[in-house]
Amino acid sequence: MDAVIFSGPLQITVERRPKPEIQNPVEAIVKVSAAGICGSDLHMYRGHQQTKTGHIMGHESVGIVESIGSDVSKVKPGDRVICLFSDVCMTCWYCKHGYTNRCSNGGASYGSQLLDGSQAEYVRIRHADASLFPAPQGMDDKTLLMMCDIFPTGYYGVTRALTFFGANSDYPATNGTTHDSEFIQQNIRDAVFVILGCGPVGLCAVLTARAKGVCKLYAVDSVDDRLEEAQRFGATPLKLGRDDVKKIVSDATDGRGADAVVEVVGNPAALRSAYDLVRPCGVISSVGFHQGDLPFTALEAYSKNVTVNFGRAPARKVFLEALELLQTFKDKLAGFFTHDLPLSEAAKGYQMFNKQLARKMRHRRSWLVSRATYERRAATERGPSAAPLEASRLEALENKVRSLEQENEQLRRQGPAAGPSPGHLTTGQEHIETHSPAGNPEPSPRRPTPGPTEFRDAPIADNNPRPSGPSMPATQPRFYGSVAGVDFVDLVESVVDVSGMSNGVFNMVTAELHHSETSPSTQLSSSSRIPDRQVANQLIAVYFQHWHVTFPLLYRPAFLELVEAVYDDASFYGQNPAAAFAFDIVLALGSAALKRSDWSFKDTEAHFARASSKLDEVLRYRDVRALQALLLCCQYGIHASLRDTAEEMWHLLGQAGRLCVELSLHRSRLSPRSAKNSIHLTGPIPSSVEIEMRHRCFWCFYSLDRIVNVMLSRPLTPSDDDIDTPLPSHFNDEYIAHSPPNTDIHSPAPPTSISPFLQMISLRRTMSRIHRMLYTSTNTRLLSAEPREAIRQELLSELDDWRASNERLLKLSPKSSLDGVLSAFTDRNWYEALYHNAVLLLYRPSTAFPHQSLQSSVANEDNLKAMWDASRATIHNYKHVLGARKLNYSWICLYSIFIAGLSNVYSVGRCAQRRATDRTSFLPPVVDVVDDVRECSNILTAICERWDDARSSCEIFSRLSNGAIRELLKAQASQDDAPNTTQTAPAVVGQSLMPADTGYGAQMPEWSGAGSQSRRPGTAGGLDPMANTVPPQSDNIHDFQQLFQDVQTSFYDHGFDGSNECDTHVPEGRRRCQAGTSQVIAEFLHTAMDGESESIQQHIDKQDAIAGTKRDEIPSKVGGSAQDSRKTCS
């Protein structure tokens, strides 16, 4: 039979499998007539759920019973049946007591690695009498598919909440002490219900609530067409980001809150919103799958006397009553389905469903039908006179189509944008759907996640922490840690003027996806030849001169011996997978660094494809070789890949972290498992360097883990308190091996090529403390203002000390000994950018220092200026790294630059708004702000030219920066028009902190802002004295790190349309991107500043002309042709 097989992330194949046979007397074989693709299936498809490959997909199906076991009595061959999504026995204790969702004999979901699914021509049902239901007459397959999973789940979410109003509940009986049925119905009619999430489950919950008599019903979502359907079903729609949901519900209940909240989204952000919306002594019914900590504490739940019900729906128990209700709604559910495909086109169906999700059509559900059904329907459509295609002919055509599709895919991947993504080596942790009722639970990590979340409620989340989450980034309820809050884009939109964008910033960026649905690495030949020895030697030299500086994971002398063996012994490469992996991954990383200025990465991809083909075999060792392989893949994915690999890297680092703990690498004391550290990817290493390499392996993991998890706001594992392993030595590899026996390799000495590695560890440890103290620590959040500010100043002092030490420890040549090889890891501007990025982490809104209202302008004035200064310095230093052709084009680089730009926009908008209430407060100069926007746009455009999927960032930044400039000009115009205004700080307001641009390569001057005492004037760290006795509440959390998860999801959900202002495929794209800001200023000044408009416009035109001249001069300064300068976004 044909079956849909899960072959890996983004890889669905249709294969021939044996027809299933009855193995037990209680089983049945069902010939499938229709099988649905559910959002839960996408968890595995997108790679966020760790599972084995090779099983049949699908848990929603209807069909005809073909054969039954001897003990089956409730169905017979020929019956048309509905198959439940999970296996139920009805004989265990749980099933007998009605808890069919916890069956101990079955319980597994169809379509998982434990139980083959129903996206096939036949499916084996393990407990036929309990898991099959006869299909009622008059209902088509599409409607019946709803009964497999979706409708019972929505039904259960509502009816479980309704039991709160029953005769045995403690719901107040205001008319006496009795709870008769009439009184219960009156309670239900008077009760205020809120449905959080209007996907398929949410809409089914809306229908159920209305059918059960709920009159005051609110439906909350961020997608217009979902809300339209919810309104059509009888609910009052509330749109996230537009409506103040909490206030509306509060006003409707005289301030009490909702009596019941049904949460179907399945992420902590929505659950926290449910807690805030429900009244004291109310009920929350949550049917989505949750992972991680609760977003409210036990004390909060206790104080509110709230009842919270979790869990998967017992579909078997509620089936008959839900089916009865469904029959009354069958005409309303037809819009849930959009496609009718044959089984042979399953891969296409998954791709279409995946893209529909990205277009915010998650309530639409693709579905598949078997070949026989498809042929029968096709024949019906052709008419009775047309004969159906012969099976052999149809199969031949399908094979031809598959062959052409594969050929197409291979040709497509030969373009420069194609590149193997290390994220496809293993399953990621990306949470895709808003609902996980079936047995394929989603480990919630974008929405990134921050993973950008589906549940985007600015009014509610202004008062609550919102865990995201990348994912990585689709409107994805991912797990991004307890501090990942509201979209930072929503936060910026609330600060700057974006009134022209009615649908929000991200909704403006909608088009076809530009990323491939399958991994290019699967299409590259793993057997491609290794390069000539001369070429390999060059790539290896580049690797050790560039990557090894901050990532000394491999022992260089042993690796060079490995290279000799590869070329001297023809059989060595094929017989030693670990050594071959190390050889290939080093070539891939070396090629990526060498070809940074080249737009063709074909060789890089070929090297990485060969390495990835050996990864599975290396990981079986479960020793330091497996750890090194994981870390090298992460190094490639984080710093060398032109693809969004955030979610995949998080998963790989999770595996690496567990392996570190298993090998006790985080402990100084050697364990019995330390023997597993003696054989590396390069082979056995000398005992004299074994301990040193053990330390390097762990700290390489630590550095990568902190990069990814701090960026994505994920938990840090292991925590710094659990680590006592010593730091590695600052000596080079050759010296360690040949040093005298009594030499202290950790003693002070002049800087070496390993010194940058130690510097990076020091910075990552400080950022780890910032992450813990300011973003995740509950204890810090409960402190008063002065202790919190003292913590921040202590962390700032650590950063200042780190910055000062760079001058002594990093006296290295900025250029490699190889011509054309430039390393950012020896560039002072790069270290300056890292420093100011860390300062931004200190001053961005966090759980310890949340986003404040305009009334606290004086308290936050100096902090906003510190943020503005740090963001400018970050952008300026990255500009010089780009100009020196040392920029690493990767998602981590995009994140850093984009967050710096948005931090700049945020601080400008906040300063402008505060000026309305305090005319003496700091206001950034307009010219400086325009310069900052121009520089940030240039850098983003440079990355976008290499990475198509990242182009949305230009559009988003352009729109938000325009809004910030509007706010700034309004504030300036208001100040100029105000009579008798005394400016107390003209030197600050009128002076540009950004020095005049002297061209690429100019040294970044010392900044008087971030990192110095000049940013800390005022009282008690510049905080509101009123805040000294009132700890910040968790409901004010706004987290910048959520922003990047939304951005990377926007790249994949919305793609890039050809109308983007920053279209860099045309020569004038960059100028158009910059001209947008000047146009905004000109239009505003024309109406708001009258006589001064012309002079300021002339100044702006002059700045544009200067910038254009500099762009024209760039090739002569950095070398290369005009084409080369365009490629580096000079």
Average pLDDT estimate for 71-89: 92
- Residue 435: inside a domain: no
Question: What is the per-residue DSSP string for 756-770?
Answer: HHHHHHHHHHHHHHH
**Which percentage of the chain shows pLDDT scores above 90?**
24
Question: So what's the pLDDT on residue 127?
Answer: 92
Which pLDDT does position 631 carry in this prediction?
Answer: 94
pLDDT of 816: 40
Q: Answer yes or no: is pLDDT of 1017 > 80.
A: no
Give the best-scoring range by mean pLDDT among 87-101, 292-306, 1069-1083.
87-101
Whether 382 is covered by a domain: the verdict is no
Q: State the pLDDT at residue 920.
A: 81
Residue 73 contacts by C-beta under 8 Å, 6 or more apart in sequence? 129
Comparing CA positions, the residue from 765, 855, 773, 842 lying closest to residue 802 is 765
φ/ψ of residue 1095, rounded to 5 = -65, -40
Q: Report residue 6: phi and psi, to 5°.
A: -85, 110
Q: Worst-scoring range by mean pLDDT, 18-27, 262-271, 561-570?
A: 262-271
SS3 of 594-639: the string is HCCCCCCCHHHHHHHHHHHCCHHHHHCCCCHHHHHHHHHHHHHHHH
pLDDT over threshold 80, residue 295: yes
Average of per-residue pLDDT values in the chain = 71
Q: Is residue 1128 part of a domain?
A: no
In a domain, 548, yes or no: no
pLDDT band at 302 (very low <50, low <70, confident <90, very high): confident
- pLDDT category at 569 given cuts 50, 70, 90 is confident
Tokens of 497: 């003027």
* Distance between start and end Cα atoms, the chain: 58
DSSP 868: H
Domain that holds residue 842: 838-977+988-1116
Q: How many domains are contained in the chain?
A: 2
CATH of the domain at 270: 3.40.50.720
237 has which bridge partners? 219
Degrees to nearest 5, angle at CA 208 with 204 and 214: 130
Give me the pLDDT at residue 739, please.
55
Of the candidate ranges 82-96, 260-274, 1078-1092, the one whose mean pLDDT is the lowest = 1078-1092
Percent residues over pLDDT 70 in the chain: 62
Confirm whether pTM is higher than 0.85: no
Higher pLDDT, 1010 or 627: 627
Count Cβ atoms within 10 A of the Cβ of residue 746 and give its class: 0-12 exposed, 13-18 middle, 19 or more buried: middle
pLDDT at 913 exceeding the cut of 80? yes
Q: Which of 282, 316, 350 is the last residue of a domain?
A: 316
Q: Is the peptide bond before 718 cis (omega within 30 degrees of 0)?
A: yes
Confidence of residue 970 (pLDDT cuts 50, 70, 90): confident
Q: Of all helices (H) and strands (E), which one includes residue 161? A: helix 150-162
User: E strand or H helix at 409, and its extent?
Assistant: helix 391-412
pLDDT, tens digit (0-9, with 9 covering 90-100), for 736-794: 665 544 444 445 555 555 678 888 999 999 999 999 999 888 888 888 888 988 999 99
> Which pLDDT does position 676 carry in this prediction?
64
**Alpha-carbon gap, residue 17 to 55, rounded angstroms:** 10
Burial 802-833 (b: 16+ CB within 10 A, else e): bbeebeebbebebbbeeeebbbbbbbbbbbbb
Q: Which of 128-132, 447-451, 484-488, 667-671 has maximum average pLDDT?
A: 128-132
In a domain, 508, yes or no: no
Final residue in a domain of this structure, among 294, 316, 338: 316
Would 214 be classed as within a structural domain? yes
Q: Are strands 307-309 and 278-286 parallel, antiparallel or unpaired?
A: parallel
Which of the pair, 456 or 969, is modelled with greater confidence?
969
pLDDT of residue 291: 61
- Decide: residue 324, CB within 10 A, 0-12 exposed, 13-18 middle, 19+ buried: exposed
Per the domain annotation, does 202 fall within a domain? yes
**Does residue 857 register a pLDDT over 80?**
no
Per-residue pLDDT averaged across 953-973, rounded? 84
Give the whole-angstrom CA distance, residue 1051 versus residue 384. 48
721 occurs within a structural domain: no
Question: Backbone phi, then psi, for 362, in 5-degree steps?
Answer: -70, -15
Do the Cβ atoms of 64 and 122 come closer than 8 Å?
no
Give residue 249's identity as a one-letter amino acid code. Answer: V
Q: Within 38-79, where are the H helices?
A: 39-45
Q: What is the pLDDT of residue 367?
A: 52
Confidence of residue 978 (pLDDT cuts 50, 70, 90): low
Q: What is the pLDDT of residues 876-906, one digit of tens each?
A: 999 988 888 888 777 788 888 988 998 999 8
According to the model, what pLDDT value does residue 409 have? 66
CA 383 to CA 389: how far, in whole Å?
13
Q: DSSP for 332-392, please give it.
A: GGGGGEEEEEEGGGHHHHHHHHHHHHHTT-TT-EEEEE-HHHHHHHHHHHH-TTSPPPPHH
Q: Which residues are within 8 A (CB) of 370 and not within 5 positions of it... i.e. 6 or more apart?
A: 2, 31, 32, 33, 34, 35, 121, 342, 343
Task: Kindly tell me if the per-residue pLDDT of 802 is higher than 50.
Answer: yes
| Band of residue 389 on the pLDDT scale cut at 50, 70, 90 | very low
Is the confidence at residue 869, as pLDDT, over 60? Answer: yes
Do 1070 and 955 contact (CB within 8 A), yes or no? no
Of 288, 316, 344, the one marking the end of a domain is: 316
Q: Which amino acid, residue 472? A: M
In this model, does residue 480 exceed pLDDT 70?
Answer: no
Backbone angles phi, psi at 1064, to 5 degrees: -90, 5
Greatest pairwise CA separation for the chain in angstroms: 97
Asked whether 497 and 971 are in contact (CB, 8 A), the reply is: no
